[in-house]
Structure 1
Amino acid sequence: MEASNKELFFELDSEKSEYGCKHYKRRCKIRAPCCNEVFPCRHCHNEAKSLVSSPSERHDLCRHDVRQVICLICDTEQEVSPICTNCGIKMGEYFCAVCKFYDDDTSKGQFHCDECGICRVGGREEYFHCKKCGSCYSVKLRNNHVCVENSMRHHCSVCYEYLFDSLKDTTVLKCGHTMHFECLMEMKEHNQYSCPICFKSVCDMTKVWQKIDDEIAATIMPEDYRYKKVWILCNDCSETTEVMFHIIGQKCGHCESYNTRTIAPPMQ
């Protein structure tokens, strides 16, 4: 006797980790309405279409446009739904009807944000939506970050991947700008400590400034430059100051940062 849909569901549910792709574990594929081709997920589609030879054929799939999915258990193509209309298998432990999104790994804490318009991970209780920044941030940043309008709706200034729906972890810098966390770590590994967008310091540089103080104290300038003055603009506090020139660096007279650059003297 053939197994009922309910029996089939319980039998196959234990094998769910065998299905899916490198991005998500699930039991369905999607048909991309933009090109009418079948892919394991939208990321697989976007990766494949970014490699086609013809620039005119390169495109991304809008998650909200997906209308058809194919069950990986019984190969039935059907309209988007959480359960296969033919074999009754649950196609993903997490399902979002808005994003047409399936995923078995619920430990990610997936939730849909209506204001973002997409699904996020990390647990709804751990995030809030900042209307000015235009994205969900950790509750630790509520009333504790510099707002930059639509700060997440741009490309990472290091790798140039679009941040708003990136799969990689993002971080909010002290200045309010955002970038991938791994890109920030890569910057620090190469001794780059200023935001690529506004040039403000991305972390507490107090100890670094103290070391520069010591280097300057130990480095005597030649007589011709010993009393030379220059005007500087501080990237951290945005103040201008006239200071003594030194080959190692110029210290801001307001916030004592060495994250400065020389400028022309202000107009009288």
Structure 2
Amino acid sequence: MELKTQLANKALKALLYEVDVQPKPGLVDPVDHSTHLDMDVFTFIDSAVSLRPYLEEFAQAGIDFKGNDLTELFKSIRPIGIKAEKTMFAATGGINTHKGAIFSLGILLAAAGYDVDDIQQTTKKMLKGLTENDFKDLDTKKNLTNGEKMYLKYGITGIRGEAEKGYPVVFEKSLPYLKNHFGNDFGMSLLDTLMMIVSESYDSNVVKRGNLDSLKNVQKYAQDILSKGGCSSSEGHELLADMNSYCTENNLSLGGSADLLIITIFLFLL
């Protein structure tokens, strides 16, 4: 099997595995829409399957890249990402299911295609100067993205900043955690890994729908769940239900954390 096919298959698995994990506070899963009333698990499956050709394109771009300046590799995959987003919106009837995942998986697929043994360092080289370039002159720009609005309001660099640093939350926290806590119940291992991500990351989706206090509160819930033995423990399970109620009552989405779980799963499968 060609490398691009292997990588794309694992990326697609990661997209599908993430939506199947349950119960996920503030996220769509097979039993709950949480705060996402316009989508369900089938919306995410349709979206993931529609992205399959572009996952291969991202990987092939990395395989084919022969230059020395890896920022050029990143520039070369941005048009693929734009095509993937358009296809996603067509598949979902205009609903944003995987925009953040397209960004991160695209980067990591290209990095893996280029050098599967040094994905993190390749990612850092690809994205050198990303936040500086993307966030300059925002005070005069019209039609700001949500990420740009968060940067201007709170100074949060969001997924761009996390990516430019080489996804430290994933490589240094969630991926080692999943490897160390992988057990017979893969779904529960992934749910605990999601809590690790929530506890360690600055999810701009939470801040967008709420505020910085909302972020601190969901981080505290996740930390407490892990300290009580994880989601499968009786105390952890109760806290998880409380966390879900908090997210629902305050219309909070943990979409940024879900995207980091997707790439954690992808890297775990490599």
**TM-score, normalization: structure 2?**
0.22
Which structure: greater strand fraction?
Answer: 1
Which structure: greater helix fraction?
Answer: 2
**TM-score, normalization: structure 1?**
0.22
Larger Rg: 1
